[in-house]
Amino acid sequence: MNKLIVALIAGTFAAVASAQTPAPAPAAAPAAPAKSEMKKEEPKKDAMAPAGEMKKDDAKTAADKKKADKEAAAAKKKADKEAKAAKKKADKEAKAASTKKVSAEKAAGDTSTPGMTQAQKDKMGQADLKSQEKNPNK
């Protein structure tokens, strides 16, 4: 069931992602800027970091993101493993408790009729069945 849900979510995500189209390109390229605008842009280039440094920062950011993703995946895997172990332990304890309860009931016998053997209880049960056959309204 979980696999089905995951598959449906992944399929929906893929459909939505493919349905989105990139923004349309402008019809015509903008005209070349005037010389006064070019002069204004030159100081901005000097204030910005060189392209080589930007690539290094982008690479470092990508590496950090990849490392964080890897750590998150490892943490998720560990948490899933622990949850599975806890569930298995709880199931085992529940089964043991159930078995213990059943064995205790068998050892104690039927408390509604103390002092009777199992053969007497069986005989009594058969007598009750026969009386019900004769008088079904009871």
Comparing C-alpha atoms, which of 73, 92, 93 is closest to residue 81?
73
Rounded Cα distance, 52 and 54, in Å: 5
List the single range of 20-24, 28-32, 34-38, 43-47 with lowest mean pLDDT: 43-47
Residue 46, pLDDT > 50, answer no
How far CA 97 is from CA of 21, 94, 110, in Å, comes to 59, 5, 19
The whole-number average pLDDT for the span 27-39 is 56
Would you say the pTM of this structure is higher than 0.85? no
Residue 44 near residue 37 (C-beta atoms within 8 A): no
Residue 19, pLDDT > 70, answer yes
**pLDDT tens digits for range 88-127:** 998 988 888 888 877 776 666 555 556 667 777 777 777 7
